[in-house]
Amino acid sequence: MITRIIVLTVASLLVTSIVFSQMKYSRGRAPSPTPAATQSPAPAQRPSPAPTLSRPTATPAPAQSKPTPTPVPPPDVKAYLDRQVANSKDKKFHFTVNGKDLALAPFHVWAQKSTGSNTTSTCIDMKSDDGRIYDIDFVTTGPQVTSIKIHKINGESLR
């Protein structure tokens, strides 16, 4: 009795695996229309065969294509910095640190890096009046500068 159960189980597993594997990899076939019978001259003693009707095939509706969103180019942080410097009286970038105004002159712009979806970071080296070198990160989200952080002072990390 146990051998019959085992044999039936193995046979059913084999059959189901074959059936499902063929379904997985086989192409879906659209029903092919059968050609309509044409009237041909037939002998008078035989009745002509009834014409076969073809089934109408269902055509899928064309998929609506969604418009591709226009990618927003990353903002030009250098242009943002140039606007800030042009609007200041002493032609320097002003940044408030611990309640004090820090006047900085930019001298090197590093390459922009992508830090996530729609977010970039650009490091700019700036020099203060007292001779310190500041590495400042400008973080942008979309087309706007959203955060400005001091990364290093004279090459030493603040974190």
Q: Is residue 16 helix, strand or coil?
A: helix
- The pLDDT of residue 78 is 81
Q: Is the model's pLDDT at 62 over the cut of 50?
A: yes
Q: What is the pLDDT of residue 53?
A: 57
Predicted confidence (pLDDT) per residue in 115-152, tens digit? 888 888 888 899 998 899 999 998 888 778 888 888 88
- Averaged pLDDT, 18-28: 56
**Among residues 134, 94, 140, which one has the least CA distance to residue 117?**
140
Backbone φ and ψ of 140, nearest 5°: -120, 145
Alpha helices in the chain (DSSP H): 2-25, 77-87
**Average pLDDT for residues 2-19, to the nearest whole number?**
83
Say if pTM beats, i.e. exceeds, 0.75: no
Q: 28 pLDDT exceeds 60?
A: no
Q: Locate 77 and state its tokens.
A: 């942080």
